[in-house]
Amino acid sequence: MKYKLSFCEIEQLSDEIFEVTVNEGAVIDEKCAEEGRIFWHDLRTEPYRLLVNNKNRFSYSFLGAQKIGAHSLEQKTAVLIGDEISEGQMSTVMTLKKMTEDTENKRVFQERDEAIKWLECP
Q: Name the architecture of domain 2-120.
A: 3-Layer(aba) Sandwich (3.40)
Q: Which residue has the higher pLDDT, 32 or 89?
A: 32
Mean pLDDT calculated for residue range 41-56: 92
Q: How would residue 84 be classed by pLDDT, with cut points 50, 70 and 90? A: low
Domain extent listing, the chain: 2-120
Q: How many whole angstroms separate alpha carbon 17 and alpha carbon 50?
A: 6
Q: How many whole angstroms separate alpha carbon 121 and alpha carbon 90?
A: 26
The DSSP bridge pattern shows strands 17-22 and 48-53 to be parallel
57 pLDDT above the threshold of 90: no
Mean pLDDT calculated for residue range 21-26: 94
2 pLDDT above the threshold of 80: yes
Q: Which residue has the higher pLDDT, 85 or 39?
A: 39
Return the pLDDT at 100: 45
pTM for the model: 0.83
Q: How many whole angstroms separate alpha carbon 112 and alpha carbon 47?
A: 21
Q: How would residue 89 be classed by pLDDT, with cut points 50, 70 and 90? A: low
Return the pLDDT at 104: 79
